[in-house]
Structure 1
């Protein structure tokens, strides 16, 4: 395992974010429905938070479940959800979260969540590994909005020389047309072709892709619990030199 100054360069402000060695203590939980895990890793603070609701409520949504992973800032506020038009409501809810964050914190945040019902699965994400300046679709959107993707020497791609995310909650340093609080919402029909839903923070996706995670889980599902699989996944990502916090849910659909 490389030391943190080798992974992230010699920038002192970056090194202030990291430990001399990773914290590998894991918070793990699991049952027959889902597995959960979180590990601090190389970071000095674990900024990943998570919530789940099973069922979502005891009334109209009693057959639905909700799972989410989000940054520390979002743990400070609550939001009411209207259920009439789900996609529109999700977008409006994220917009409302964004306004609340402006009032109470001065930081950008991201979130990934899943709503799982009897017939449909919704994946909702903002400000994660899909919303970075390296993603071509995001580059095109930012340029259409009048923004620029820039890169200084020995630095990563940034939006307007500032942000490493192309969408975020709670960031008002740039025009909201350039950095919107707009989540991607993907709807899937629930059918027999999928056995699991996996949602995870950037500490996973920075070093391993969707197909690799799916294969990793499927190869172990017959002889390990879901929380044990998550523990093994964290170990693998640490070996692959992930430098971020790691949090994951594996939800069984069978």
Structure 2
């Protein structure tokens, strides 16, 4: 259910308790980890770099057994640009642990210490970032091979470079970047997933099949549900070993794999790269892992953050509240968030963005109806 206004939440709670005589029960909720990234430097708002930008970032563990997300915010060696990234790991934390420092170094080197970012040649920037991502992935695959540490691990990476009037994005995976312009949400990235009807999804499905792969229930070879990521050597340098392992595990037959012919990597680390102008109406940039976006859409997120900033103006508090809101909506995934307030908005002078009361009221009565139905069904089957 969508987050409701405080007034409507009180109405719901009071109405349910009065109507049905429900007794509150204490549920045992596992303590969730909540911390800022070890790579982020100093306090969120004290980072140097682009003048006026205030940073907030948050990592919070959902019901997963491990925290495999991470956040990086840096403002060094990039010629007055700031760098931020979110990583979403899978099959272990090893790939994220490697990338959170290595990818930044590769980007700095390829971008010539930020000189390319300040130039007017976007093609040069794109080629540099493609090279940086490719080099980082090659080094990661070699490192996984040599160390033997969580060899099936991988990670998405969504990176932003923020200047005074321009934003550059380099994106691999299913995290997302949203820009708030005068309260309107602009979704700037598309998820790399091998399912769905979006243009990007259709392109990814076609690429995988042309490379000799197949998709089962939205997963490449019935395994992984993202089509672009770092690491994941079984879909790159160890494809034949992956097939033989599948035969041993009874996932497919020897006859089946004898008909296959790979023509490329099934999962790739080639980024989508965008450049976005930041005018006077640009308020803040937000990037986050899919643990947020699977439960809140971009408009809801922008409205939530704006109202947080209007109330107290603290970007760090807003990022932490947003991460908690995702868990309150029953997000099962880990959630990592970075917010860059561009410093162009007097938040205290803004009126609050109003929720759609009619929509909320409909949500309220739908909830009451579901609870009523559950209680009625429980009365039919007494324990």
TM-score using structure 2 length? 0.55
**RMSD over aligned Cα atoms:** 2.2
Match of 1:116 among 128, 143, 162: 162
Shift of 1:22: 4.1
Shift of 1:177: 4.3
Whether the 8 Å contact between 2:68 and 2:96 is mirrored in structure 1 is no
Whether the 8 Å contact between 1:23 and 1:41 is mirrored in structure 2 is no
Distance in 2 of aligned mates of 1:100 and 1:158: 26
SS in 2 for 1:143: helix
Shift of 1:25: 4.2
SS in 2 for 1:173: helix
Match of 2:320 among 221, 224, 231: 231
Distance in 1 of aligned mates of 2:319 and 2:73: 17
Whether the 8 Å contact between 1:21 and 1:42 is mirrored in structure 2 is no
Alignment of 1:1-254 (within 5 A): 21-27=29-35, 30-31=44-45, 33-54=54-75, 56-57=76-77, 61-70=78-87, 71=89, 72=93, 73-76=95-98, 78=102, 79-80=105-106, 81-83=109-111, 84=116, 85-105=124-144, 106=151, 107-129=153-175, 130-135=191-196, 136=198, 137-146=200-209, 147-151=213-217, 157-174=218-235, 176-224=264-312, 225-253=314-342, 254=344
SS in 2 for 1:213: helix
Distance in 2 of aligned mates of 1:42 and 1:138: 27
1:101-157 per-position Cα deviation (integer Å, ceiling 9, x unaligned)? 212222221111110012210122212251122343223333245243321xxxxx2
Whether the 8 Å contact between 1:111 and 1:127 is mirrored in structure 2 is yes
The residue number in structure 1 matching 2:246 is none
Shift of 1:62: 2.8
SS in 1 for 2:305: helix
Shift of 1:160: 2.3
SS in 1 for 2:61: strand
SS in 1 for 2:233: coil
TM-score using structure 1 length? 0.81
Whether the 8 Å contact between 2:204 and 2:227 is mirrored in structure 1 is no
Larger Rg: 2
Shift of 1:92: 1.1
More strand per residue? 1
Shift of 1:199: 0.8
Shift of 1:30: 3.5
Distance in 2 of aligned mates of 1:206 and 1:100: 31
1:169-201 per-position Cα deviation (integer Å, ceiling 9, x unaligned)? 112323544321111112100112220000111
Distance in 1 of aligned mates of 2:137 and 2:166: 27
More helix per residue? 2
Q: Structure 1 unaligned runs (5+)?
A: 2-19, 152-156
Distance in 2 of aligned mates of 1:198 and 1:92: 25
SS in 1 for 2:276: strand
Aligned residues: 227
Go from structure 1 to structure 2 and tell me whether the alpha carbon gap of 1:23 and 1:86 turns closer, same or farther (over 3 Å shift): farther
Q: Structure 2 unaligned runs (5+)?
A: 2-27, 37-42, 46-52, 117-123, 145-150, 176-190, 237-263, 345-383
